[in-house]
Amino acid sequence: MNLPNKLTLTRILFVPILIFIYMFPYETVGIHIPVFHIFKTDLSLINIIVFIIFIAASMTDMLDGQIARRKKLITTFGKFADPIADKLLVNTIFMLLASDGTISIIIPIIMISRDTIVDAIRLVAASKQVVIAAKPLGKLKTVTQMIGLGFVLLNNFPLSFFHIPIGQIMIWIAAVISIISGLDYFYSHKELLTESI
């Protein structure tokens, strides 16, 4: 297995680790989780650890693509596993944050619904030998998601000093972009989807 595919698999393996760290009932087994107070911001050690793992996993996403293209190591497995790893990572973080009310449950519903629709469109297109390239809106959605999630995990630090909920703002912006992106994919390929109606 080549290096880019190993990095992709590593990103997938980060997912159950993140779930375990975030959801483990620490208080039930008598483990006290320290909370650090920095610049008027409360930062839980759990959130800091999840943030670090999230950043590390996101870095593997950037690296595997760069290495695969530069060294011509693009494989069928990589094309299959890379987008799955990306969506597993981001949507897992969204669901974890929604599970304790940190973000609205509407956010992961929007994100997962959009991804499902776009994947279905790609599947139909692939069955007709049509390749659908990634669009700028989709890339903008991903960048906005990553930034928003980072800020939410760190309780909006350091902008929390100015009482700016930048994480929530960025995540809602990402949700709006996600909706627009999904609609764009649908309307751009509606002839393909409705040709047999």
N- to C-terminal Cα separation, the chain: 44
The rounded distance, in Å, linking the Cα atoms of 79 and 69 is 12
* pLDDT confidence of residue 65: 79
The pair of structure tokens assigned to 189 is 């390929």
Contact 154, 117 (CB under 8 A): no
Number of domains in the chain: 1
The enclosing domain of 102 has a CATH number of 1.20.120.1760
User: What is 69-103 written as a DSSP string?
Assistant: HHTT---HHHHHHHHHHHHHHHHHHHHHHHHTTSS
State mean pLDDT over 7-35. Answer: 94
- Mean residue pLDDT across the chain: 89
The rounded distance, in Å, linking the Cα atoms of 121 and 14 is 28
What pTM was computed for the model?
A: 0.89
State mean pLDDT over 165-189. Answer: 93
Q: Give me the amino acid identity at 66.
A: Q
* pLDDT confidence of residue 195: 66
The rounded distance, in Å, linking the Cα atoms of 106 and 194 is 29
Write out the residue range of the structural domain in which residue 10 sits. Answer: 3-194
